[in-house]
């Protein structure tokens, strides 16, 4: 799997809500090599502050050599990224990690919560592109705390043509509640492949429910990462029996049954 250290150029910065930003970068090498579920490491500033690279899942990639990242401003690093100007240069390392496995012959249900929505757009597009049959049985469920986390990306999912439902914790957009409630009431076919990304409690609930229902489930795990390449051990995660995996190398996508979840 090729990886590149690429000097990318900012081509667009969209402030989709007060906190949520979508950044488009011209990154021909990474765009041609990446797959849904993979991530990149970005250094937010060329100086020493902030020093470390940060991981971002790939939100979209296209054949014209662009990648997109979707993130929330949560600190100095993301604030710097959010205020980049078109034409500025950003050093990006990637694509990194294990991608989602796409099975084009079965129905799918994509569940994205909060920033877990980010990789789901790329995945939904690739699934729609690769399927030869109908996507009528397919479903996307997006959730967030409030309207600003979900509404700005709904049009992109609607364009793909897969049925998309939204829910927010405060009821300001879509139904009021959690993605797991929509998932449980969705009457999915028995051979559905579920894909999930979001906060740990959400993914735990989705994974355990899928196990009960005997549904296949792939999850993309969020983790603190300093190197993204297996060198710092900062992303290790217990999987039971005293064993650990590295989210950056062994994931971030896992079969949900491989991981240990708190019920």
Tell me how far apart the alpha carbons of residues 93 and 40 are, in angstroms, rounded to a whole number: 6
CB nearer to ligand FES: pick between 40 and 194:
40
Q: Identify the burial level of 187 via C-beta atoms within 10 angstroms of its C-beta, where 0-12 means exposed, 13-18 middle and 19 or more buried.
A: exposed
Is-contact 222 202, C-beta < 8 A? no
The DSSP-derived string for 45-110 is: -SSSSS-SEEEEE--EE-TTSEEEEEEE--SHHHHHHHT--TT-EEEEEEEESBPPPP-TTS-EEE
Beta carbon of residue 219, minimum distance to ligand FES (angstroms, whole number):
17
228 lines the binding site for ligand FES (CB under 6 A):
yes
Among 45, 74, 86, 231, binds ligand FES (CB under 6 A): 231
Phi/psi for 249 (5° steps) reads: -100, -45
111 lines the binding site for ligand FES (CB under 6 A):
no
Among 45, 51, 86, 233, binds ligand FES (CB under 6 A): 233
Beta carbon of residue 82, minimum distance to ligand FES (angstroms, whole number):
23
Which regions of 129-252 does DSSP assign to beta strands (E)? Answer: 139-144, 163-168, 175-176, 193-197, 216-220, 236-240, 243-246
CB nearer to ligand FES: pick between 82 and 248:
248
CB nearer to ligand FES: pick between 206 and 235:
235
221 lines the binding site for ligand FES (CB under 6 A):
no
Beta carbon of residue 12, minimum distance to ligand FES (angstroms, whole number):
28
CB nearer to ligand FES: pick between 73 and 226:
226
Name the one range near ligand FES by CB under 6 A: 24-32, 65-73, 136-144, 219-227. Answer: 219-227
Beta carbon of residue 103, minimum distance to ligand FES (angstroms, whole number):
27
CB nearer to ligand FES: pick between 45 and 224:
224
Number of neighbours of residue 229 by Cβ within 10 angstroms: 16
Enumerate binding residues for ligand FES (CB under 6 A): 225-228, 230-235, 246, 248
């Amino acid at each position: 799997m090729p990886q590149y250290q690429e000097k990318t150029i900012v081509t667009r910065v969209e402030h989709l809500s007060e906190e949520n930003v979508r950044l488009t970068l011209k990154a021909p090498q990474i765009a041609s090599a990446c797959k849904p579920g993979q991530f990149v490491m970005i250094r937010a500033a060329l100086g020493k502050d902030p020093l470390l690279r940060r991981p971002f899942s790939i939100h979209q990639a296209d054949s014209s050599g662009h990648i997109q990242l979707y993130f929330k401003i949560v600190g100095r690093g993301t604030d710097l990224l959010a205020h980049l100007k078109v034409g500025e240069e950003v050093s990006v390392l990637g694509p990194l990690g294990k991608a989602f496995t796409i099975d084009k012959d079965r129905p799918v249900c994509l569940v994205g919560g909060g920033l877990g929505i980010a990789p789901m757009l790329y995945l939904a597009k690739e699934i729609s592109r690769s399927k030869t049959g109908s996507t009528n049985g397919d479903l996307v469920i997006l959730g967030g705390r409030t309207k600003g986390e979900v509404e700005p990306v709904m049009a992109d999912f609607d364009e793909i043509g897969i049925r998309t439902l939204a829910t927010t914790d405060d009821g300001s957009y879509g139904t009021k509640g959690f993605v797991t409630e929509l998932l449980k009431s969705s009457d999915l076919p028995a051979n559905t492949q579920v894909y999930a990304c979001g906060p740990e409690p959400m993914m735990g609930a989705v994974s355990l429910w899928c196990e009960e229902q005997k549904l296949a489930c792939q999850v993309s795990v969020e983790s603190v990462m300093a190197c993204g390449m297996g060198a710092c051990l900062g992303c290790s995660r217990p999987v039971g029996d005293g064993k650990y995996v590295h989210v950056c190398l062994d994931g971030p996508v896992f079969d949900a049954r491989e991981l240990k979840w708190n019920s």
